[in-house]
Structures are given as C-alpha cells and as structure tokens.
C-alpha cells in the first residue's frame, strides 16, 4: 500500500490549499532533475527562488532502506529546531514523503533559495591568505561554530561544502540530517570534537594555514584543543583514508 504525506509550512506556488497529497507530491517530484541515482536536487524560479532536494531509497535491505529514507524527515526536524535557536539555516517551505508498506521510498524538502552564495570549499581558494575579507570570514566561522555549540546543536557533517558564504560575507549552515540537538551531557564534548575535526580537516584541504586555523579555533573558544585537532587533521589528511586512526578515535571519545 502506498501513502503520501505533504506538509506545507509556508505557501508557495507549488501547492494549492486543497491539493491531494499524492498529486502535490508528484507535481514537485517531476520538477527535480533525475541525473543522480539517489540524492537529487534542483533550483526553481518560483516565489523568488526555491531549492528542492529529493531522496529516493534504492537499497534492498529493508532496515537500511528505512533508516536512509528517514534522512529527509530528520533534516526537516533539524532545520526547524536550528532556526528556532537563531542559527543561519535555509528557510523550510515544504516537506513530502511517499511510503510503501510503511517504508519511505521517496521524499523531498523545499527550501527558500539562498542566492549569491558559494560553499566555503569554493570561496576560500578564490581569496588569498591575508586578505581582510578572508580573515573576517575565518573569524566569523569560528564564532558561528561556537554559537551552534552553545545552542547545544552539533552538525555531524561540518564540512566546507556544508557552509555557504554569501556575497555579503554572511555564513549559512546547510545539509544537516546527521545533526545532534540537545544530546545527553556525556556526549556533548564528543560531538563538539567531531565537528571541530571535520571542519579543520576540510579547511586544511581548502588551503588554510595553521595560523588561520588557530584564529578560527580561538574564535570557536577551542583553545584547549587547537594544536591537537590540527595535528590529527594533518595526520588524517596524509593517510588519504576515510577510516579513523586509533589516536583520532581515542581523542574523539575521550579528548586525550
């Protein structure tokens, strides 16, 4: 049995007040380019600009399929909670999900498009070290990380690709299905260390110097771990592997 669920949080031209959920879902799904096998996205000119992100589950394993199918639902919840806490995230407009026999198979999010932005991975190589604008963005990045962690929000995938820089220099967080919000106190420092490590590793690959990394970490109030996280990120980058080393795993878990 197939069921559809569509939530419209803010009115857009994609939906009408008395839409049938199945018809509304299919109308939005047809607008998403299908040039990727699983995670899909597209940009629409409607309503001043919309970003539509879709996900379809292709796994045959039922449990993994169910877990993966919840990704969009988790991101919808996280975006709402992060916005409530004053963090700069895209404005959520709508959410839809198609389920078969209780398992999600397709889902989408509609967000207000953030115009005139590039991800940090693209922005940094275009601005030389020592430029005032680059120095300001690096410092504000650290402050944003601290604001996020002070709000008990931990991104879970804090890479340079998931931080957008506007023409004005403002920063925005995106792609947060792995976030942790209000975790139990014993786990907070572990999630904080994980965010810092992922970010520093990405910044190293984007060309930040150790001096700039220290500026960012001090703005994030991470003075006690700055040398250790930089050292571990350099070591992991030299290994050219996605697997965590024993020293990294130990540091993430215990801080030592």
Spell out the domain ranges in the chain.
2-112, 117-254
pLDDT the model gives residue 242: 67
Does pLDDT of 104 surpass 90?
no
Average pLDDT rounded to a whole number, residues 218-242: 87
d(C-alpha 124, C-alpha 129), whole Å: 9
- Model confidence at 237: pLDDT above 80: no
- The pLDDT mean for the chain works out to 91
Per-residue confidence (pLDDT) for residue 96, from 0 to 100: 95
Q: How far apart are CA 7 and CA 23, in angstroms?
A: 13
pTM, 2 dp: 0.92
Percent of all residues in the chain with a pLDDT value above 70, rounded to a whole number: 94
What is the per-residue pLDDT across 193-215, written as a single tens digit (0 to 9) for each? 999 999 999 999 999 999 999 99
Q: What is the pLDDT of residues 14-35, one digit of tens each?
A: 988 788 999 999 999 999 998 8
Residue 136's pLDDT is what? 96
Contact by Cβ (8 Å): 203, 121: no
| CA–CA distance, 126 with 135 (Å, rounded to integer) | 13
Given the candidates 3.55.50, 3.30.200, 1.10.3470, 3.40.50, the CATH classification of the domain at 2-112 is 3.30.200
Give per-residue pLDDT as tens, 52-64. 999 988 666 556 6
Residue whose token pair is 């939005």: 28
Beta strands in 117-246 (DSSP E): 117-119, 153-154, 163-166, 171-173, 180-181
Lowest mean pLDDT among 36-50, 71-85, 176-190: 36-50
CB distance 121 to 202 below 8 Å:
yes
Span 51-103, pLDDT tens digits = 999 998 866 655 665 666 688 999 999 999 999 999 999 999 999 999 988 88
**What order of strands is seen across the sheet that includes strand 171-173?**
117-119, 163-166, 171-173
pLDDT of residue 57: 81
CATH architecture, domain 117-254: Orthogonal Bundle (1.10)
What pLDDT sits at residue 70? 83
Confidence grade of residue 122 (pLDDT, cut at 50, 70, 90): very high
């Amino acid at each position: 049995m197939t069921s559809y669920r569509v939530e419209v949080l803010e009115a857009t031209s994609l939906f009408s007040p008395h839409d049938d959920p199945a018809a509304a879902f299919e109308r939005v799904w047809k607008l998403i380019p299908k040039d990727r096998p699983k995670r899909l996205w597209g940009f629409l000119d409607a309503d001043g600009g919309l970003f539509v992100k879709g996900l379809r589950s292709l796994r045959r394993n039922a449990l993994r399929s169910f877990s993966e199918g919840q990704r969009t639902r988790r991101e919808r919840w996280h975006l709402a909670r992060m916005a409530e806490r004053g963090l700069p995230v895209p404005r959520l407009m709508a959410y839809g999900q198609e389920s078969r026999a209780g398992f999600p198979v397709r889902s989408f999010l509609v967000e207000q498009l953030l115009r005139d932005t590039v991800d940090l991975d693209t922005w940094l190589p275009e601005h030389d070290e020592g430029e005032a604008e680059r120095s300001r963005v690096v410092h504000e990045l650290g402050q944003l990380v601290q604001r996020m962690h002070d709000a008990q929000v931990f991104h879970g995938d804090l890479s340079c690709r998931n931080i957008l820089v506007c023409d004005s220099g403002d920063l925005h967080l995106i792609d947060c299905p792995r976030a942790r919000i209000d975790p139990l106190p014993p786990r907070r420092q572990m999630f904080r260390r994980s965010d810092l490590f992922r970010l520093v590793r990405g910044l190293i690959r984007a060309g930040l110097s150790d001096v700039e990394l220290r500026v960012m970490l001090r703005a994030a109030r991470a003075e006690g771990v700055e040398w250790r996280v930089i050292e571990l990120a350099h070591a992991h980058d030299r290994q050219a592997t996605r697997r965590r080393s024993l020293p990294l795993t130990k540091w993430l878990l215990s801080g030592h």
